[in-house]
Amino acid sequence: MDFLFDLWLPIVVSAVLVFITSSIFHMALPIHKSDYRKVGDEAAFLAAMRAAGVGPGHYMFPMCSSMKDMNSPEMAEKYRQGPVGFMTILPSAPVALGKSPGHVSVWH
């Protein structure tokens, strides 16, 4: 185990260099650019969400209230017709930097 004591500095330096390099690549390359897409007719979509009273939280659609309902023909039809998905709604607030400049926080 003495060899680890002799190599601690190169190990730490290489870890820091890999972290910095990967951070630069992550910021410079458009790797995650296509992860999210814009909703078609965003204004009508947002108006419908406001009219439905959708508040902050995690949503699943279509949603059934029990496993019994999950096997019903009505639910099968809802899943067949679509859309099927999960949605996270954040509180209405401007995006603000939190305590750490690298962490964007919208939860107040």
pLDDT at 3: 78
My answer on whether omega of the bond before 83 falls inside 30° of 0, hence cis, is yes
Cβ proximity of 84 and 94 under 8 Å: no
pLDDT at 5: 81
Domain residue spans of the chain: 1-32, 57-92
Alpha-carbon span 83 to 63, nearest angstrom = 12
Mean per-residue pLDDT of the chain = 86
Percent of the chain at pLDDT above 90? Answer: 56
Alpha-carbon span 73 to 6, nearest angstrom = 68
Alpha-carbon span 62 to 83, nearest angstrom = 8
At 31, is the pLDDT very low, low, confident or very high (cuts 50, 70, 90)? confident
- pTM here is 0.59
At 101, is the pLDDT very low, low, confident or very high (cuts 50, 70, 90)? low
Query: What confidence tens digit (pLDDT) does each residue in 66-90 have?
Result: 888 888 999 999 999 999 999 999 8
pLDDT at 108: 46
